[in-house]
């Protein structure tokens, strides 16, 4: 191909040259060029290597359907692979490299695969690599031995591991009318809908609006079509109720007329502007959608059709008309329809010589003949291309007489010189989005194309999308669709712009493939990127892979990055012919999102790097400032330990826990779930949701409660405080707060709507600190005013209100640690103030802040359960909480908790373990009756929580062990092969420390 | 039909690949069979294969309403593993992994089972303990599991965000080395061809429209291709279970159909060579032999028979992908699709005789059906042949729910969308 | 998917939490009919077609709503507040109407 710039025209700015790099070499193009057009203008024809055979490949298209010219864009060490060169706008500093070749695009060792072409036919991998039945390569091992080599050969571009530092952004939009595609139909639809006052969004993949108007050489309303498009776009841009989204591809049509679009905001710039994202992910909720997505030209399958220099006729016309690049000096045309004649004339006018027009049809229309005449081109009717010549670029072709109805060839063969062969096999409307929101597409025999299906959502089509290929029809459709989408009365006679265009009829002869007459001429490719040939399709047929889906999956046809945009219909046609049925009988695949590939970063948008929100306690900063090691618990961050220099985690928590038992400690309990349960029926409601009674709870007291699920298993536990006759404050475990809230709301809304109760999540309203230890009352006494704190006023489970340093507090005397302890709550905003006051008041008693590890150690010593034990598989009985199951009333789960499997004696139940070798135990370790690290089997349970108990001076654990209590006093073994820890333990009661509770009551 | 081998490939290549025969016949249905299997997906085809191979029952038809393997066998993320928590699950799925290891020879079809390992990343000490509990459980039931620290993970999975500043920092990971991936379509085709070679009739485009009954007993099916009598009728239709069982008058089952999306990126040179799951959310990802990253996340979360997903889950899954591998922000999503999952009430399957005489039911695979394919077929064949379950599938009864003998891996109770 | 919350108007799917099949009948709290409880907890009609189901507008007003949605197409036929659905069927019709009018006003 000897491509060159045309004398003038196109949307490139010839006054602004742009320097970029491709495969390490510097090139120059013009502003407005794509990488494809710029490289083409520089005379490069070889732009890629195919997936399987590593065949040399050039440009086929000028748009998103490009299968061959995929490149990787480099920005420092950040790589962006598999981008069609046709979709990259060049800018100064652009660095791109070719892919899937070693060592270079010109000399690719992978091309050796071509030699074994017949072996690598469809299904190759399924039929071999089955290893022997015995020996070192038995089973799947032979395959696994070969797989790494296959993997290295496969794949296209290489992704990088470097973090992409740019920003991605998500945007929500609402509109009355979303117009997809800004060709003449889309522009007209947007204009019409906007004029009726509708809020319009017009999205266009290309950077410049206008679609075919930019290269059609037609005239609209007396001016060049591209000027009409530019003027119309400009007017729309100035309309308040219109938002134009160039460089935006609508890729998904989801339920509820929700569409997803990707805007490439800054890919065409060296760096994004300040604050600008690279990509913007749009979620557009449209009342109505106008699909004006146009049509794609199809290639014809013929031997040697993948030689660089063979491209679609419309692509050639686009390069010439839109980018001012003539793809060849001597251009041959191969077509089954009239549309390529217009391309021939356009190319000729831009300076190419048309060496021949090879038309499969025996006769051509007068229009076509006239165009050929104008283009000074010889027309070979009833001919087909049967071979191409040249090495890595086209030098010529063989055309042979051909009867498309019988598929027979004549004897006459002509050799034609050409450095570019442009092909037109007819047009396929771009119905992908419609297919995502419609029934099955409808075959049109005249157009030899699938037309859009019946909508299942609210959209209207316009223009080539409907198979209406002329610009006049597109404008009329666009007007009508804009009207309909905006709603309201129809204008009587729309004044549509006048179009002067060539009356070419794109109705094709049904020619999809020209099979080689003599087995020569080279492979005929259907899917260029995945190297699927017409013979592969026939092989699939021979082996019974008849359905379209089998064909795709067996041959990989249509599975490449272009998703079969150019190959689906030809592949289907070849299969239909092999089966002796029509194309629609052979079926069509349903198109699924995305329409074109979408960057993962854009879809992650703001969540990129910030996956989930952080939930921080009001005292978070204090913890950090005071040396706490924070770790995440769900979305929360909580202090693990407040380590001192040189301390291990164990030393730290043992110190903290011991301080609690000895004197006093303070722990942040703000993260506990808190739900206000209020209303005249609040007590009755709690009786139904808790297994135990709450209606008997006096005002000013708290009670420990247990909830079950409907299926009778334990859901959550916590204390609930009666603040008033109709006013309860429920606490839940931190992790379960959301679940419990939803659980309660469900029952109130759906099961017991007659109960007068309101629920409010107040987790974030309150800051909470638990002050625990023998000196806890002294600490409180030193800073609390407005209430007495003696046993009389504030007994165990009692609640009082008071003040700390000017802040109202609510104090409940309850204990998770087993010590005398008080939970002090205040409004969240005063949390740190109250916390610091408590710390200050505790100083004379050596108060120690303690973290989750110490909290855990204290609760393990007491045998209190948490989420590790209430894990969704345990019952109240498993946890020896059956004393909480009221027999006086039904409650959620009460009828399901006694099923045979849930009351079996064999179930795993809660016990304590004491390490007998004075070595630590590990959470998640299993327990066995017989110690044999070489025969790991017969687990009888597992460890749920572990600690070193400062009170007992031993390593202890809670565990769920089969038959539970019945094993108290017996010997067992820890079996933890993952951490290689084995050792003896004694199974004991889970109430390790102060089982009578004298310390917390005292 | 000829064996597939490297030699046969060469021979055929020499003759221009013109003499290949169909991988399985396209027979007309016979008026009656010993066993009719409803559902030509992975489990139905595997059942046919093992009925013929293990029990000598070859007068079998597999009826598929569309094209073979058009259900979840062709729509999954191809992961094979047995890294379960509860003994019932571990034993069943580990048996499946063992069958996978020899499946290519057994079927004379390369299903490309690649034991590249499945790595579950843990992101908090509590989650690490949970995973270790599971790994230890596997080890106590004969499975393989190892615990990897962050350094080992860094070596095994380059590109992973192992920084302490990650929103959910990695603290360790549970690796099952014998787990991996397989080529999903090949599994359907391989089982079909192997069953066909033993005489099983595989009948595509044959939709069951009703059941033939003699009193309570099921004695056959009516189909779009005529009535077919059968001594035994086995149903293995995954997400369509509700619809098919209603034809037999079974109105209610412990099953809900939910849609699950799966995703694949454009093909890339080798990026990750193990299966990685993210414990900070719900994500599993691997790379196919062709180079596409194959990944998925949670169910869309509502009852659906439509094979179409919705956008919020897409966004969630993509954000988890780039949270795990920040380098993937510029990799592009190529395809997404939806499959209909038969979600059971405890997240575990049902392989059982009944619920009517003459009928056998295989369902409830949730979104773990692919890995189970060989074991499911093997156990279902046993159950059909012997009219009682094999010990491996004995726990997976239909009456376990009313009896409260549940295998609830996730501990979510009767909320199918959370399993 | 957009769900038309009777309080808040049409809102994106991501604001809602699915709360399951509304075909089920919960036995009375005091019922001791074990079979009925088992059926309520574990058995599902699993309708292919119009499916009554509960959703919670968990990212909004937090009310539970009764949605009639096709499980074949995801198309939503109706939305009403779940509270009050337990009333007799004759009254249910009347109760629904105001909610529906409210939606229309908002769309």
SS3 sequence, A627-656?
A: CEEEEEECCEEEEEEECCCCCCHHHHHHHH
Q: Which CATH number is B115-179+256-344's, of 3.20.20.450, 3.40.190.170, 3.30.9.10, 3.30.1360.10?
A: 3.30.9.10
For residue A941, give the nearest of A920, A921, A963, A922 by alpha carbon: A963
Residue range B134-185, pLDDT digits in tens: 999 999 999 999 999 999 999 999 999 998 888 899 999 999 999 999 999 9
pLDDT band, residue A138 (cuts 50/70/90): confident
Residue range A386-405, pLDDT digits in tens: 999 998 899 999 999 999 99
Tell me the angle at which helices A313-323 and A339-349 cross, rounded to the nearest 10 degrees: 40
Q: For residue A950, what are the β-bridge partners?
A: none
pLDDT for the residue C88:
33
Nearest-Cα distance to chain B for A972, in Å, is 15
Confidence check: pLDDT of A199 > 80:
yes
Q: Which of C39, C48, C74 sits opposite B243 (nearest CB)?
A: C48
Q: In this structure, are residues A730 and A671 in contact, taking their beta carbons and an 8 Å threshold?
A: no
For residue B147, give the nearest of B162, B163, B130, B161 by alpha carbon: B130
Confidence check: pLDDT of B311 > 50:
yes
Kindly report the length of chain C.
107
CB contact (8 A) between residue B333 and residue A133 = no
Residue range A430-459, pLDDT digits in tens: 999 999 999 999 999 999 999 999 999 999
CB contact (8 A) between residue C41 and residue A896 = yes
Confidence check: pLDDT of A783 > 80:
yes
A688 in reach of chain C (CB within 8 A): yes
pLDDT band, residue C102 (cuts 50/70/90): very low
Mean pLDDT of A302-312: 96
pLDDT band, residue A408 (cuts 50/70/90): very high
A:C CB pairs within 8 Å:
68
Mutate one of C46, C52, C54, C73 to test the B interface: name it (highest B CB count within 10 A): C46
Residue range A61-70, pLDDT digits in tens: 999 999 999 9
pLDDT band, residue A2 (cuts 50/70/90): low
Q: What is the DSSP string of A892-912?
A: TTTTTTTSGGGS-TTSEEEEE
User: Chain centroid to CA A660: how far?
Assistant: 48
Distance of alpha carbon B29 from alpha carbon B62, whole angstroms: 10
pLDDT for the residue A236:
98
For B115, the closest chain A residue by CA position comes to: A144
Q: What is the 3-state secondary structure (H, E, C) of A108-169?
A: EHHHHHHHHCCCCCCCHHHCCCCCCCCCCCCCCHHHHHHHHHHHHHCCCECCCCCCCCCCEE
Q: Which residues of A481-510 are buried (b: 16+ CB within 10 A; e: fewer)?
A: bbbbbbeeeeeeeeebbebeebebebbbbb
For B15, the closest chain A residue by CA position comes to: A118
A928 in reach of chain B (CB within 8 A): yes
* β-strand pairing of A325-326 with A330-335: unpaired
pLDDT for the residue A680:
98
pLDDT for the residue B1:
57
Q: In this structure, are residues A820 and A777 in contact, taking their beta carbons and an 8 Å threshold?
A: yes
Mean pLDDT of A974-983: 96
pLDDT band, residue A1 (cuts 50/70/90): low
Query: How confident is the prediction for chain A on average, in pLDDT?
Result: 94
Q: Kindly list the distances between the CA atom of residue B174 and the CA atoms of B118, B287, B298, in Å, as whole numbers in the listed order.
A: 8, 19, 20
Confidence check: pLDDT of B89 > 90:
yes
Residue range A789-801, pLDDT digits in tens: 999 999 999 999 9
Find chain A residues with C-beta within 8 A of B179's C-beta.
none
Q: What is the 3-state secondary structure (H, E, C) of C25-92?
A: CCCCCCCCCHHHHHHHHHCECCCCCEEEEEEECCCCCCCEEEEEEECCCCCEEEEEECCCCCCCHHHH
Q: What is the DSSP string of A247-288?
A: TEEEEEEETTTEEEEEEE-STTSSSPPTT--SEEEEEEEEEE
Confidence check: pLDDT of C87 > 60:
no
CB contact (8 A) between residue B304 and residue C74 = yes
Confidence check: pLDDT of A1002 > 80:
no
What Rg value do the Cα atoms of chain C yield, rounded?
A: 15
CB contact (8 A) between residue C18 and residue B255 = no
CB contact (8 A) between residue C30 and residue A890 = yes
Q: In this structure, are residues A50 and A37 in contact, taking their beta carbons and an 8 Å threshold?
A: no
Residue range C45-61, pLDDT digits in tens: 999 999 999 999 999 99
pLDDT for the residue A537:
96
pLDDT: which is higher, C97 or A346:
A346
A886 in reach of chain C (CB within 8 A): no
Count of other CB atoms within 10 angstroms of residue B84: 23
Find chain C residues with C-beta within 8 A of A742's C-beta.
17, 19, 56, 58
For C63, the closest chain A residue by CA position comes to: A749
Find chain B residues with C-beta within 8 A of C45's C-beta.
242, 251-252
Q: In this structure, are residues A733 and A669 in contact, taking their beta carbons and an 8 Å threshold?
A: no
Find chain A residues with C-beta within 8 A of B158's C-beta.
161
Q: Which residues contact A677 (CB under 8 A, 6 or more apart)?
A: A685, A686, A720, A727, A728, A729, A730, A744, A757, A758, A759
CB contact (8 A) between residue B306 and residue C71 = yes
Residue range B377-399, pLDDT digits in tens: 999 999 999 999 999 999 999 99
Distance of alpha carbon B104 from alpha carbon B187, whole angstroms: 9
Percent of chain B residues topping a pLDDT of 90: 91
Find chain C residues with C-beta within 8 A of A283's C-beta.
12
What are φ and ψ of residue B346, in 5° steps? -125, 10
CB contact (8 A) between residue B329 and residue A977 = no
Confidence check: pLDDT of C101 > 50:
no
Distance of alpha carbon A649 from alpha carbon B117, whole angstroms: 32
pLDDT: which is higher, B174 or A164:
B174
Residues 409-448 of chain A whose Cβ lies under 8 A from any Cβ of chain B: 436
Q: Which fold would CATH assign to domain B26-78+184-254+346-418?
A: FAD/NAD(P)-binding domain (3.50.50)
Mutate one of B258, B261, B298, B303 to test the C interface: name it (highest C CB count within 10 A): B303
Largest CA distance in chain A: 115
Chain C neighbours (≥3 Cβ pairs under 8 A) are A, B
Mutate one of B13, B68, B96, B133 to test the A interface: name it (highest A CB count within 10 A): B133
Q: Is A410 helix (H, G, I), strand (E, B) or coil?
A: strand
Q: Which of A257, A688, A745 sits opposite C64 (nearest CB)?
A: A745
Residue range A36-64, pLDDT digits in tens: 999 999 999 999 999 889 999 999 999 99
pLDDT for the residue A114:
80
Q: Which helix (H) or strand (E) holds B346?
A: none
Q: Kindly list the distances between the CA atom of residue A391 and the CA atoms of A45, A56, A106, A848, in Å, as whole numbers in the listed order.
A: 11, 9, 11, 81
Alpha helices in A174-224 (DSSP H): 184-195
pLDDT band, residue C93 (cuts 50/70/90): very low
Q: What is the DSSP letter of A464?
A: G
Distance of alpha carbon A178 from alpha carbon A455, whole angstroms: 15
Count of other CB atoms within 10 angstroms of residue A817: 27
Confidence check: pLDDT of C94 > 60:
no
Preceding peptide of B143 cis, ω within 30°: no
Q: Which fold would CATH assign to domain C2-106?
A: Folate-binding fold (3.30.2270)
Confidence check: pLDDT of A870 > 70:
yes
Distance of alpha carbon B29 from alpha carbon A627, whole angstroms: 76
Nearest-Cα distance to chain A for B219, in Å, is 31
CB contact (8 A) between residue A868 and residue B405 = no
B252 in reach of chain C (CB within 8 A): yes
Confidence check: pLDDT of A528 > 50:
yes
Question: In terms of CATH, what superfamily is A622-670+766-857?
Answer: Probable tRNA modification gtpase trme; domain 1 (3.30.1360.120)
Q: Kindly list the distances between the CA atom of residue A416 and the CA atoms of A347, A378, A395, B137, in Å, as whole numbers in the listed order.
A: 18, 11, 9, 73
Which residues of chain C are at the B interface, by a Cβ-Cβ cutoff of 8 Å? Answer: 1, 12-14, 17-18, 20-21, 34-35, 38-39, 41-48, 51, 53, 55, 69, 71-74
Q: For residue A282, what are the β-bridge partners?
A: A171, A261
Q: Which of C38, C42, C82 sits opposite A750 (nearest CB)?
A: C82
pLDDT band, residue C104 (cuts 50/70/90): very low
Confidence check: pLDDT of A32 > 70:
yes
Count of other CB atoms within 10 angstroms of residue A259: 29
Residue range A727-767, pLDDT digits in tens: 999 999 999 999 999 999 999 999 999 999 999 999 999 99
Find chain A residues with C-beta within 8 A of B331's C-beta.
81, 159, 599-600
Q: Which of B242, B306, B414 sits opposite C73 (nearest CB)?
A: B306
Q: Kindly list the distances between the CA atom of residue A79 and the CA atoms of A88, A101, A160, A164, A789, in Å, as whole numbers in the listed order.
A: 14, 16, 5, 9, 66
CB contact (8 A) between residue C64 and residue A749 = yes
Nearest-Cα distance to chain B for A951, in Å, is 24
pLDDT band, residue B305 (cuts 50/70/90): very high
Q: In this structure, are residues A358 and A335 in contact, taking their beta carbons and an 8 Å threshold?
A: yes
Domain A166-296+427-503+595-612, CATH class in plain words:
alpha beta
The domain locations on chain C are: 2-106
Q: What is the DSSP letter of A489?
A: P
pLDDT for the residue C90:
34
Mutate one of A284, A604, A981 to test the B interface: name it (highest B CB count within 10 A): A604
Going edge to edge, which strands form the sheet with A223-224?
Answer: A223-224, A219-220, A499-500
A900: tokens are 């045979």
Distance of alpha carbon B407 from alpha carbon A938, whole angstroms: 18
Residue range A618-654, pLDDT digits in tens: 999 999 999 999 988 889 999 999 999 999 999 999 9
| Residue spans of beta strands (DSSP E) within A292-352 | 295-297, 310-312, 325-326, 330-335
The domain locations on chain A are: 166-296+427-503+595-612, 622-670+766-857, 673-758
Residue range A814-823, pLDDT digits in tens: 999 999 999 9
pLDDT band, residue C100 (cuts 50/70/90): very low
The domain locations on chain B are: 26-78+184-254+346-418, 115-179+256-344
For A172, the closest chain C residue by CA position comes to: C12
CB contact (8 A) between residue C48 and residue B257 = yes
Q: For residue A910, what are the β-bridge partners?
A: A960
pLDDT band, residue A490 (cuts 50/70/90): low
Residue range A826-855, pLDDT digits in tens: 999 999 999 999 999 999 999 999 999 999
Distance of alpha carbon A991 from alpha carbon A542, whole angstroms: 73
* β-strand pairing of B60-63 with B201-203: parallel
Residue range A534-573, pLDDT digits in tens: 999 999 999 999 999 999 999 999 999 999 999 999 999 9
Confidence check: pLDDT of C62 > 50:
yes
CB contact (8 A) between residue C86 and residue A753 = yes
For A749, the closest chain C residue by CA position comes to: C83
Confidence check: pLDDT of B44 > 60:
yes
pLDDT for the residue A159:
94
Nearest-Cα distance to chain A for B174, in Å, is 9
Domain A673-758 has CATH 3.30.70.1400: yes
A900 in reach of chain C (CB within 8 A): no
Q: Which of A131, A600, A896 sits opposite B331 (nearest CB)?
A: A600
């Amino acid at each position: 191909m000897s491509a060159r710039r045309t004398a003038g025209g196109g949307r490139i700015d010839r006054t602004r040259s742009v320097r970029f790099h491709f495969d390490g070499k510097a090139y120059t193009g013009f502003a407005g060029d794509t990488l494809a057009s710029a490289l083409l203008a520089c005379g490069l024809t070889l732009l890629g290597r195919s997936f399987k055979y590593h065949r040399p490949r050039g440009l086929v298209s000028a748009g998103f359907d490009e299968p061959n010219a995929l490149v990787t864009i480099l920005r420092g060490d950040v790589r962006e692979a598999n981008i069609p060169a046709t979709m990259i706008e060049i800018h100064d500093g652009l660095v791109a490299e070719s892919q899937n070749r070693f060592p270079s695009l010109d000399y690719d060792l992978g091309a050796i695969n071509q030699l074994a072409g017949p072996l690598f036919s469809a299904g190759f991998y399924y039929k071999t690599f089955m290893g022997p039945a015995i020996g070192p390569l038995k089973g799947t091992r032979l395959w696994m031995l070969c797989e790494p080599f296959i993997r290295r050969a496969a794949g296209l571009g290489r992704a990088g591991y470097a973090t992409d530092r740019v920003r991605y952004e998500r945007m929500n939009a609402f509109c009355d009318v979303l117009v997809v595609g800004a060709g003449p139909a889309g522009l007209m639809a947007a204009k019409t809908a906007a004029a009726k006052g509708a809020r319009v969004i017009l999205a266009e993949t290309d950077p410049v609006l206008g679609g075919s108007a930019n290269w059609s050489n037609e005239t609209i309303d007396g001016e060049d079509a591209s000027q009409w498009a530019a003027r119309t776009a400009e007017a729309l841009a100035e309309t308040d109720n219109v938002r134009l989204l160039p460089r935006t591809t609508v890729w998904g049509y989801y339920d509820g007329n929700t569409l997803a679009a990707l805007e490439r905001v800054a890919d065409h710039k060296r760096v994004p502007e300040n604050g600008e994202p690279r990509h913007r992910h749009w979620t557009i909720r449209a009342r109505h959608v106008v699909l004006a997505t146009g049509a794609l030209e199809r290639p014809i399958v013929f031997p040697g059709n993948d030689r660089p220099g063979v491209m679609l006729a419309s692509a050639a016309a686009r390069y010439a008309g839109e980018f001012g690049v003539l793809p060849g000096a001597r251009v041959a045309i191969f077509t089954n329809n009239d549309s390529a004649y217009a391309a021939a004339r356009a190319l000729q006018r831009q300076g190419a010589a048309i060496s021949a027009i090879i038309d499969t049809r025996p006769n051509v229309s007068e229009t076509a003949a006239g165009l050929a005449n104008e283009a000074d081109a010889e027309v070979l009717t009833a001919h087909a291309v049967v071979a191409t010549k040249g090495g890595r670029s086209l030098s010529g072709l063989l055309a042979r007489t051909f009867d498309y109805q019988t598929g027979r060839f004549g004897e006459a063969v002509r050799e034609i010189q050409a450095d570019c062969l442009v092909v037109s096999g007819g047009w396929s409307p771009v119905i992908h989005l419609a297919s995502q929101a419609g029934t099955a597409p409808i075959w049109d025999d005249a157009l030899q194309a699938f037309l859009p299906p019946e909508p299942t959502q609210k959209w209207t089509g316009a223009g080539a999308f409907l198979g209406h290929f002329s610009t006049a029809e597109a404008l009329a459709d666009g007007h009508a669709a804009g009207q309909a989408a905006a709603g309201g009365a129809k204008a009587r006679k729309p004044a549509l712009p006048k179009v002067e265009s060539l009356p070419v009829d794109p109705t094709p002869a049904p020619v999809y493939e020209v099979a080689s007459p003599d087995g020569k001429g080279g492979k005929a490719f259907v899917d260029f990127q995945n190297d699927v040939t017409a013979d592969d399709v026939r092989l699939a047929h021979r082996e019974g892979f008849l359905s379209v889906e089998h064909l795709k999956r067996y041959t990989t046809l249509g599975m490449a990055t272009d998703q079969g945009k150019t190959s689906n219909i030809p592949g289907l046609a070849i299969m239909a012919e092999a089966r002796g049925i029509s194309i629609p009988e052979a079926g069509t695949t349903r198109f699924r999102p995305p329409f074109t590939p979408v960057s993962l970063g854009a879809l992650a948008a703001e969540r990129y790097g910030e996956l989930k929100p952080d939930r921080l306690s009001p005292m978070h900063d204090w913890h950090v400032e005071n040396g706490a090691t924070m770790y995440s618990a769900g979305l929360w961050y909580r202090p693990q330990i407040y380590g001192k220099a040189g301390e291990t985690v164990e030393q730290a928590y043992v110190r903290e826990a011991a301080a609690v038992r000895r004197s006093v400690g303070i722990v942040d309990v703000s993260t506990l779930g808190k739900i206000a349960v209020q209303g005249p029926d609040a007590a009755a409601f709690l009786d139904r949701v808790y297994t135990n009674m709450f209606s008997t709870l006096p005002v000013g007291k708290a009670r420990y409660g247990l909830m079950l699920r409907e299926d009778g298993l334990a859901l959550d536990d916590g204390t609930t405080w009666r603040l008033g006759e109709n006013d309860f404050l429920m606490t839940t475990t931190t992790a379960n707060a959301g679940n419990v809230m939803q659980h309660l709301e469900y029952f109130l809304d759906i099961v017991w709507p007659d109960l007068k109760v309101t629920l409010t999540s107040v987790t974030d309203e309150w800051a909470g600190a638990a002050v625990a230890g023998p000196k806890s009352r002294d600490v409180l006494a030193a800073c609390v005013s407005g209430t007495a704190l003696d046993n009389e006023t504030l007994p165990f489970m009692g609640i009082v209100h008071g003040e700390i340093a000017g802040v109202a507090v609510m104090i409940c005397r309850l204990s998770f640690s087993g010590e005398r302890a008080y939970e002090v709550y205040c409004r969240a905003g005063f949390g740190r103030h109250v916390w610091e006051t408590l710390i200050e008041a505790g100083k004379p008693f050596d108060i120690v802040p303690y973290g989750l590890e110490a909290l855990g150690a204290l609760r393990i010593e007491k045998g209190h359960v948490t989420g590790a034990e209430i894990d969704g598989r345990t019952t109240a009985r498993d946890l020896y909480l059956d004393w909480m199951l009221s027999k006086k009333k039904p409650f959620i789960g009460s009828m399901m908790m006694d099923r045979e499997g849930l009351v079996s004696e064999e179930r795993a139940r809660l016990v304590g373990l004491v390490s007998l070798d004075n070595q630590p135990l590990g959470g998640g370790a299993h327990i066995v009756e017989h110690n044999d690290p070489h025969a790991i089997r017969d687990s009888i349970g597992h460890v749920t929580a572990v600690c070193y108990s400062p009170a007992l001076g031993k390593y202890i654990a809670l565990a769920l062990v089969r038959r539970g209590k019945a094993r108290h006093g017996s010997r067992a073994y820890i079996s933890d092969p993952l951490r290689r820890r084995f050792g003896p333990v004694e199974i004991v009661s889970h109430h390790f420390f102060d089982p009578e509770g004298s310390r917390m009551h005292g | 039909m000829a064996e597939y081998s490297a030699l046969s490939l060469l021979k055929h290549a020499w003759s221009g690949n013109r003499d290949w025969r169909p991988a399985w016949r396209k027979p007309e249905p016979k008026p009656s069979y010993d066993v009719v299997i409803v559902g030509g997906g992975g489990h139905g085809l595997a059942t046919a294969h093992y009925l013929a191979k293990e029990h000598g029952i070859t007068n079998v038809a597999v009826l598929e309403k569309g094209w073979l393997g058009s259900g979840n066998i062709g729509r999954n993320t191809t992961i094979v593993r047995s890294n379960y928590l509860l003994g019932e699950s571990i034993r069943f799925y580990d048996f499946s992994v063992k069958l996978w290891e020899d499946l290519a020879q057994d079927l004379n079809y390369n299903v490309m089972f690649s034991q590249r390992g499945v790595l579950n990343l843990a992101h908090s000490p509590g989650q690490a303990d949970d995973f270790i509990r599971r790994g230890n459980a596997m080890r106590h039931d004969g499975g393989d599991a190892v615990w990897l620290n962050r350094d080992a993970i860094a070596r095994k999975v380059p590109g992973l965000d192992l920084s302490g500043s990650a929103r959910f920092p990695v603290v360790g990971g549970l690796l099952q080395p014998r787990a991996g991936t397989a080529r999903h379509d090949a599994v359907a085709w391989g089982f079909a061809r192997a069953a066909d070679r033993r005489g099983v009739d595989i009948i595509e485009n044959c939709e069951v429209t009703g059941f033939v009954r003699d009193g309570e007993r099921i004695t056959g099916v009516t189909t779009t291709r005529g009535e077919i009598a059968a001594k035994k009728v086995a149903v293995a239709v995954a997400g369509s279970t509700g619809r098919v069982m209603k034809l037999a008058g079974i109105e209610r089952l412990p099953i809900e159909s939910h849609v699950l999306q799966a995703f694949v990126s454009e093909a890339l040179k080798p990026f990750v060579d193990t299966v990685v799951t993210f414990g900070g959310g719900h994500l599993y990802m691997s790379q196919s032999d062709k180079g596409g990253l194959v990944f998925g996340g949670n169910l869309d979360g509502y009852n659906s028979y439509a094979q179409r997903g919705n956008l919020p889950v897409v966004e969630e899954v993509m954000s988890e992908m780039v949270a795990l591998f920040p380098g993937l922000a510029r990799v592009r999503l190529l395809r997404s699709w939806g499959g209909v999952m038969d979600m059971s009430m405890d997240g575990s399957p049902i392989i059982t005789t009944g619920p009517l005489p003459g009928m056998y039911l295989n369902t409830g695979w949730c979104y773990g059906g692919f890995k189970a394919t060989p074991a499911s077929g093997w156990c279902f064949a046993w159950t059909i042949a012997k009219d009682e379950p094999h010990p491996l599938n004995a726990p997976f009864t239909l009456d376990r729910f009313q009896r409260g003998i549940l295998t609830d891996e996730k501990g979510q109770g009767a909320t199918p969308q959370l399993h | 998917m957009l769900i038309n919350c009777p309080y808040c108007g049409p809102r994106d799917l991501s604001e809602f939490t699915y709360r399951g099949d509304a075909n089920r009948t919960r036995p009375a709290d005091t019922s001791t009919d074990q079979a009925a409880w088992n059926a309520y907890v574990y058995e599902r009609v699993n309708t292919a077609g119009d499916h009554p189901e509960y959703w919670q507008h968990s990212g909004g007003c937090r009310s539970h709503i009764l949605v009639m949605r096709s499980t074949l197409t995801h198309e939503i036929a109706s939305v009403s507040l779940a509270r009050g659905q337990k009333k007799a069927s004759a009254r249910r019709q009347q109760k629904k109407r105001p909610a529906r009018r409210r939606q229309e006003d908002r769309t």
